[in-house]
Every structure is written in C-alpha cells, then in structure tokens.
DNA sequence: TAAAAAATAGATAGATCTATCTATTTTTTA
DNA sequence: TAAAAAATAGATAGATCTATCTATTTTTTA
C-alpha cells in the first residue's frame, strides 16, 4: 500500500534537495513544483513566499542536524570518543560529493541582511560550538591550550575543512583535522 | 587634471565591488553598466559574457590577494612573525563588515560545476596553504604536532573563522585563532 | 453524505535577466 | 587630418522569475 507523503512535505523535501545541491538563487519556484508534482497554488498556500520556504528549509536542516548527531553518537559515552564521533559525523555528511554546509552556503549566497536567516544560522553554529565546549570541558586534558580555546578552534578547523573539501573536492582537509585533534587530545 | 580610468577597468572595478558585496547571482548586468557609467555594448565588447566577467574578477582577486600580503608582511623576517602577520592580514581583510572570502563565496554560490572557476579557487587556496607550510617548516618548533599538519590546520582554522565571523558578524572567531596559534608556536 | 477545505491545471501579470543589434558620436591611431 | 576603432544610447529579443487569480476537481471533516 502506498504511503502518502503530504503535499507540504513533498514541497519541502524537493526544496531542500534543490536549495542545498543547486543553490537557493539558482532554484526557481517552477522547478520545485515540477519536481514535487504539485500545483503552484498549493505551494503558495503552504508557503506565502519563496523566503518562507527558505526559512522552513533552514529550520528543517537545524532539526535534522542535531537528530542526526544524536543517532550517530549513541553508544559513545567518553567525551574523547564523542569528540571523534563529532568529526566523523561531519565527514559522513560530506560524503560522497562534498556539497558543504547548508548554513554556510546560504549566508555566502544571500548575506546576513535577512535577520531571520542570520539568526537561524548564527544560532545553529553557536549550538555546535557550545556542544563541543561541553565535551572538551569534560576531558582530562592538560596540554598547553585552554580547553575552551581548543574546543572553539577545533570547531573552526572543521568548518574550514568542510569548505575546503568542497573547493578541492577531496576528503583530505577533513581527515587532516581528525588526525590533528586525535594527537591533541590523546 | 582628471585621471581617466579606462572603460574596461571601470567595468571590472564595479563588478568586483558588486560580486563581492552583493553576490554574483544577485548582481545584474544592468546594475553594473549603470554604476560603471558605461554602455552595455562596451561591457560585452570587453567581456563576451557575464561568466567571462566573473573569471576576470576572480583573477583580479587572486593577484591582489598576494600583492596585498606582500605589502602587509614587508619588514617581517622571522617565520613566526610572518605567521602572525598572515592572520593579521586575513583579519584586516574582514574589517569592518565581515564580507568573507570571495573565493569561498563564489563556490558556495555557484558550486564547482564550472571547471575554470573551480580550478582558480582551488589553486588560490592551495597557494595559501603552501605558503604557510613553508613558513611553519622554517620554525624551530618541537611541539607534539608535525609542522605540516599544524600548518594545514592553522590554515583551516583561519578559513573557518572567516566564515564564522561573517555568520556572527563578529571578529572573535578570528581573534581566537590568533590566540591559539600564538600559544602553539610561542 | 453534505459542506468545507485542499489541491489541481493553467493562464496571466509584471518585473527582471542576459545578450544582441542599430545608428550615431567620440576617441585613437596611422 | 583621414581612417579605424571604441564607446555611446537605447530598442529589442526571448527567456525566466515570483506571485496571483480563476474555475474545476478531489479529499477531508462534521
């Protein structure tokens, strides 16, 4: 028996795929309705404007990001292990084609003018950073670097590696970060 | 006496400003010719298509990036000093409004489909990385991390901090990288 | 099962986009 | 200074964009 996907979800699923892989400005309403197989009236009934659809897309990404991490790290208990799972998760997200981080991409595309978008993205990145700060605080590490500083800069390394994996179409930057942090916290 | 800026340069200067600050897809040919005060025929005479203008923009950015670094670091001789100048340069580039890195932005906007763009951007990032690898090799540092690994990950930190400075509209991520690397190579 | 709500196809408005073309004027070169 | 090259204003083509509207059909709710 057919599992019916609701119209709103069909729209949002297609928009998610296209905004992420093809870019927000390079995705037109007409392509979305064609691929989702819905009427244009339905789209504007659920999302009053393309910008509302963008916000729904970002909220969905935010929710799924933390759900995905939760699932990915279940079974790990030691903070060191969880930190390594974090980088593994972000590597896994980039497989196989290095499309980058959806939050970074939208800011690069449309800037920070739209306050709702800016706050969603800033909030998302801030939550990742906080999560890592918590994990690093729990470590029994006594290297030369303050734990919070190490956590913040580890986060930035992962961010930079994600961007440069896309640019070079290569996993190496991300693998290099993993190697680095392993040495630092071993 | 009036210094005449050539038509081609007026086009490229305006395109540079708009592509960088407003985005490539959000900048139309008509806005460029209006702000540059030139005829549309002249634009297409110098640049056969908008994509050719994009390539010229990226080549200009590439050239000016290394010229700018050269100027910024002149007077510094010790590798440690040069490394700190590198991060200072990338901080200075982000002042005062955190518009990010033009190379990262264009890839986030249009992806890696266009081979000329992809190669230009990958080449640029690779040259930055090589430059840093050279500086770190010259350091007399014997921390726990291999010099090349440290150089690569320092580069990635700066990249991530640039992106996150835009997102949070704050210099802190970049200052944090500086603090981190200072401790690592002191 | 009747009424209300949701979804549909498809036309349409009006703005905007890249690129080409024409006819004229200005600037540069030989 | 004459010929060639470059630049100009502005119309135009044809595609594409977001969003609205109408009239009809399908689905859901009471």
pLDDT in tens, chain B (186 residues): 345 799 999 999 999 999 999 999 999 999 999 999 999 999 999 999 999 999 999 999 999 999 999 999 999 999 999 999 999 999 999 999 999 999 999 999 999 999 999 999 999 999 999 999 999 999 998 888 999 999 999 999 999 999 999 999 999 999 999 999 999 998
Are B44 and B67 in a shared domain?
no
Q: Which of A112, A144, A160 sits opposite B157 (nearest CB)?
A: A160
Residue at B24 is within a domain: yes
Are A138 and A61 in a shared domain?
yes
Q: How far is the alpha carbon of B148 from chain A, nearest alpha carbon, in Å?
A: 10
Which range marks the domain in which residue A6 is found? 1-48
What is the mean pLDDT of the segment spanning A163-176? 98
CATH number at residue A30: 1.10.10.60
Are B103 and B63 in a shared domain?
yes
Which protein residues have a C-beta closer than 7 A to any atom of strand D? A 4, 27-31, 40-41, 44, 48-51; B 6-8, 37-42, 45-46
Are A1 and A85 in a shared domain?
no
Are B75 and B154 in a shared domain?
yes
Residue at B108 is within a domain: yes
Between A23 and A4, residue with greater pLDDT? A23
Picking from A153, A178, A182 by the largest number of B CB atoms within 10 A of its own CB, the best residue to mutate is A153
**What pLDDT is recorded for position A186?**
86
* Overall domain count for chain B: 2
Are B20 and B84 in a shared domain?
no
CATH number at residue B123: 1.10.357.10
Are A42 and A65 in a shared domain?
no
Cβ separation B161–A161 shorter than 8 A:
no
What is the mean pLDDT of the segment spanning A112-124? 98
Cβ separation B155–A158 shorter than 8 A:
no
**What pLDDT is recorded for position B144?**
83
Q: Which residue is nearest to nucleotide D20 (CA to C1')?
A: A41
Are B128 and B110 in a shared domain?
yes
Which chain A residue lies closest to B126 (C-alpha atoms)?
A: A168
**What pLDDT is recorded for position B2?**
47
Strand C proximal to A45 Cβ, under 7 A = yes
Are B43 and B67 in a shared domain?
no
Residue at B53 is within a domain: no
Q: What is the ipTM of this complex?
A: 0.95
Q: Which chain B residues touch A91 with a CB distance below 8 Å?
A: none
CA distance A30 to B66: 43
* A142 pLDDT above the threshold of 90: no
Q: CB–CB of A60/A20 below 8 Å? A: no
Are A134 and A169 in a shared domain?
yes
CA distance A132 to A84: 11
Nearest nucleotide (C1') to alpha carbon of B45: D6
Are A102 and A29 in a shared domain?
no
What are the C-alpha distances in Å from A167 to residues A129, B24, B46, B185? 23, 17, 29, 28
pLDDT digits (tens, 9 = 90+) for A44-95: 999 999 999 999 999 999 999 999 999 999 999 999 999 999 999 999 999 9
Tokens of B104: 């990262």
């Amino acid at each position: 028996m057919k599992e019916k996907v609701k119209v709103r979800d069909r729209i949002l699923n297609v928009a998610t795929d296209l905004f992420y892989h093809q870019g927000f400005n390079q995705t037109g309403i007409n392509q979305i309705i064609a691929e989702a197989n819905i009427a244009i009236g339905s789209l504007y009934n659920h999302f009053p404007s393309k910008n509302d659809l963008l916000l729904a897309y970002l909220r969905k990404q935010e929710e799924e990001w933390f759900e995905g991490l939760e699932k990915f790290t279940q079974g790990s208990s030691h903070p060191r292990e969880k930190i390594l799972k974090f980088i593994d998760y972000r590597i896994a997200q980039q497989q196989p084609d290095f499309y980058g981080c959806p939050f970074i991409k939208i800011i690069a595309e449309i800037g920070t003018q739209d306050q709702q978008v800016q706050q969603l993205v800033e909030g998302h990145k801030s939550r990742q950073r906080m999560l890592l700060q918590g994990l690093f605080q729990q470590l029994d590490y006594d290297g030369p670097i303050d734990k919070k500083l190490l956590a913040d800069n580890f986060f930035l390394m992962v961010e930079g590696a994600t961007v440069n994996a896309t640019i070079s179409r290569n996993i190496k930057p991300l693998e290099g970060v993993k190697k680095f942090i392993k040495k630092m916290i071993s």
